[in-house]
Amino acid sequence: MDERMTDLESRLTFQEQAIHTLNETVVEQQRLIDALSRTVEALRERIKALNPSPVHPNEVEPPPPHY
């Protein structure tokens, strides 16, 4: 009986350590995702601020002849 209890306590300790390690990994990944999201948003804003594209969205272009 004592051996089973010791085995269960050992397993519980290992599982607690594994859960703690996984939690740290998830937290770090979330920080990275947040940082990347901010970077992508900043890049989007920079692209919007660049010179307008050669295709002018304000002008209506006639459809190509094959339409």
User: Residue 18 CA to chain centroid, in angstroms?
Assistant: 23
Task: For residue 64, name the pLDDT band (cuts at 50, 70, 90).
Answer: confident
pLDDT of residue 53: 61
Q: What is the pLDDT of residues 21-53, one digit of tens each?
A: 999 999 999 999 999 999 999 999 999 888 666
State the pTM of this model.
0.61
Distance between CA atoms of 65 and 67, rounded to whole angstroms?
Answer: 5
Distance between CA atoms of 64 and 35, rounded to whole angstroms?
Answer: 43
> Which tokens in the block code for residue 34?
């947040």
